[in-house]
Structures are given as structure tokens and as C-alpha cells.
Amino acid sequence: MKYLFKQRLFSWFDSYDITDYTGQPVYTVKGQLAWGHCLKIYDANNIEVGTVKEKIFTWLPKFEIYQNGRYIGCISKEFSLFRPRFSIDFCGWHVEGDFFEWDYRILDATGRVVATVTKELFNWTDTYSIEVERPEDGLCALMLVLAIDAEKCSRKD
């Protein structure tokens, strides 16, 4: 299953439209007014299905991930000099690839590819392709990508 992750051009808070490759809406992500990033994920029926929330007052950025109001894991930035590294306590997954250019893979504990993330070039706003191997991993993969994107945005500010 492929998703297109596209940031909205005019938005006060982080807002994204997630569609399949036919252009059909799958998820909508709406930023909330909060200390740190707080992203709410809604399905195509406008029902909240997930949240990515930055934990404040930590030495390095940390994002907690909730599905249907239940805590399911977190991602924390680790100290590194040249390339961003993350500690992922979420679904037993880890990430490999180039965070600066937004080309990376999400792998499970056995090394199976869960999802591949690629930045789409030549768009007005940040646009990413997320190819998920199994549809049941789609929402969790999306929330992990949102947490990494929020950390990247924090670095720019």
C-alpha cells in the first residue's frame, strides 16, 4: 500500500493530507495548539485514530505515540554529531537510511521491511511517499514518520 504524505501549503499549525496513490483521502493530520508538537490523526470518516505528541522538558526531543488514546511507544532523538539518530521504543521497529534527504526504511526486529519513505521532489510543500508492505502497519508507520518529521521541523526552528 502506498501513501502520499503532503503538507498543506497554508496552515498555522502542522497539517497534512494523507492519500493513497489514486488521490483518495486516507488520513488527515491536524496540528494542535500545545507546548511542543501535538499532531492528531483522523481517518477518512474524521474519527481520531492516533496522536503524536512531543514530550517537553527533555534534554533531546522525544515524541510519544498514541493509538485510539492508548500509549503504544515513543521515539527519542539520540546525541550524535553528524547524522540524526533515534532510539525507537515502538512496535519493535528501527530505522535505517538517510534522514537528511528523507530516504529511509522502517524495519522490524527480524529485518523485514515495514515501510519505505522517500521524499518527492518538485512540489510546493514537503511531500513524501510512504510504501507500506502490510496495510495493518499503515497507521503506525505514518505516526513514526510524523514523529521524525516533527523532530526535523524542530531542528529548523
Domains along the sequence of the chain with CATH: 2-156 (2.40.160.200)
Residue 84, pLDDT above cutoff 90: no
Give the cell for residue 55: 514530550
Averaged over 2-24, what is the pLDDT?
A: 76
Range with the largest mean pLDDT of 89-93, 96-100, 114-118: 114-118
Q: Which helix or strand (DSSP H or E) is residue 27 part of?
A: strand 25-31
Amino acid of residue 129: S
Strand order in the sheet with 48-55: 85-90, 70-78, 62-67, 48-55, 38-43, 25-31, 15-20, 2-7, 127-132, 113-119, 103-107, 94-98
Averaged over 42-63, what is the pLDDT?
A: 87
pLDDT of residue 9: 54
pLDDT of residue 11: 45
Is beta strand 85-90 parallel, antiparallel or unpaired with respect to 103-107?
Answer: unpaired
Residues whose CB falls within 8 Å of the CB of residue 66, separated by 6 or more in sequence, listed in order: 50, 51, 52, 53, 72
